[in-house]
Structure 1
Amino acid sequence: MTDARFCVCVPARDEADRLPILLDALARQDVDGPIRVSILINNTVDDSVAAVARAQAAWGERLHLAVACHDFPPEHAHAGTARRLAMEAGLARIDPDRGVLISTDADTRPPSDWISAMLCAIDAGLDIVGGRIVVDDAEPLATAMDAMQVKLDRYWACVRAIEDDIDPCRWDPAPRHGDHTGASLAILAPLYRAAGGVPAIPAGEDRALVEAAVAAGGRLGHPMSVWTRVSARTIGRATGGMADHMQALSDRVARGESTFLPSFDQWRARAAWRRMRRDQPGGDAGVARDEPLLPPMRCDMPLGLDR
């Protein structure tokens, strides 16, 4: 048992090139004391272990690294299993009552105030903190991809404005972003346990954890002060992850196709349903439990490439 305030948890597969970048960024965080990092290296054939050892030697006591290596059978060699074990290892290294688990991915490059901004948001009353995801400016996108990303950002800003108008949340006020993925996520240890931890599913394990945590009564927030950079690569390690999203977006742009997303009217109806459900028994937790049972929204509104 330990009284450490936080631990950064990282699943990694064949990330020898990216892990030194992440660890360098973590060592340069503006928080005092050692940075505890739990890394779960799985099904790896590159020299990720050696890369981590070199980072430890370079940073000394600034980084307190705990590294575990596993070769999972094919049916378990996925992001859910790896992130769950990374988070469980981190859980054993922090205060069980007030400790914070911080999830990230091996291909991120967080700014120097990433950890302190997360802890500040927790101290302000949040139980779960989602961090905004931006493409690493060291890996610029092609012009057409960049233009499409701008349109997508505007679309989601409009969605959040609809939600804030119809169903505002007192602990997640505007301005806010909408990201809560495993690349940048903080959660209090007691809530993590209450939510059952990261589910060992092939994809979407981060979203499933957040849904379970909110259903367990956790207060989720998206402060603009919390953000991280992610790689723009289109060949990734996790099925359904950021790289797959970037590849699909790149393919559509290359073909000159539109991206279809749910219309704003659907978002207005969904926000109205949330507000109605929130006023019923179960409140916010009831919304989190019941919303996944609703029919999925139709992607019926084209986000044109030319406007």
Structure 2
Amino acid sequence: MTGFFHETAFYGSDDDFLALVVPFLEEGLRAGEAALVACTGTNTTLLRGALGRDAAVMYLPAADQYARPSDAIATYRELFHEHTDAGARQMRVVGDVPHPGMGASWNWWARYEVAANRAFADFPVWGLCPYDTRTTPADVLADVVRIHPNIATATGGHEANPGFREGHPCPAQTPDSLERGRPLLELVNPTPAAVREAVGAAITALALTEDNAHDVVYAASEVVTNGLTHGVAPVRVRLWADSSRVVMAVTDQGPGPSDPLAGLLPTTATRSAGLGLWILHRTCDYVSMGRDEDGFTVRVSVGGTA
């Protein structure tokens, strides 16, 4: 196999999970292929018990591997480079991608699933993304079908997915729970310097770490700069907070980046919106982007739990 073979599968019980994943990994191990697993603790325990070949499988803690989509892409690319440089001609990966049924916001993980088709295209990797129908919301399952080119069947088949839609738009953003309250700060068309000063003053009394406070101020400056430079005025900044978490939404009237995956993929650019968005995706606890009737909005969350 050359390139990235991106596949999904659905299961409704532990036995169904094992019936899908164990043959997939065993076939690769028999062929001498590298095997990587980044699953939840429950699924990792099931696989360890069924495979009994820990030395042959690289197990990655899902909480670490899937902390942020951009981090997951970077880590996988490093691992794939290491294996191919060592002579691997094929790799198999099984990963439990986070979703609301696992307590994670879906927008940026849906964007991750779409980005994977491009981010891993240079590597001989067969990636299987199984989704548990007991915990995955119906709208997420529908998105999963539309963004995976291939699908594994319960009978052991691996087929082109008729439900795949190239260029399928990522799901709409979901406003954060903090947005139900009145904004702590609201500005229109501030300069980057003004927004840095205003945001810094607004979060002074919050129980944020020094790193988190820096991330909030940097995010505000970067998103406003992008809105003023690449968007269409007016640029509206709103900020909400509780004692330890900040949510910020920056809205302009432009269409947003031409690349819907901006921020998720590594970039070597030194002067572009893509570089700043990529840094946001590597530092903030959640980033979503999208356009609705209010305009194009970038949302970021820093600190606490979204």
Same fold (TM over 0.5): no
Decide which structure has greater strand share: 2
Q: How high is the TM-score relative to the length of structure 1? A: 0.28
Q: Whose radius of gyration is greater, 1 or 2?
A: 2
Q: How high is the TM-score relative to the length of structure 2? A: 0.28
Name the structure, 1 or 2, with higher relative contact order (CA <8 Å, separation 6+): 1
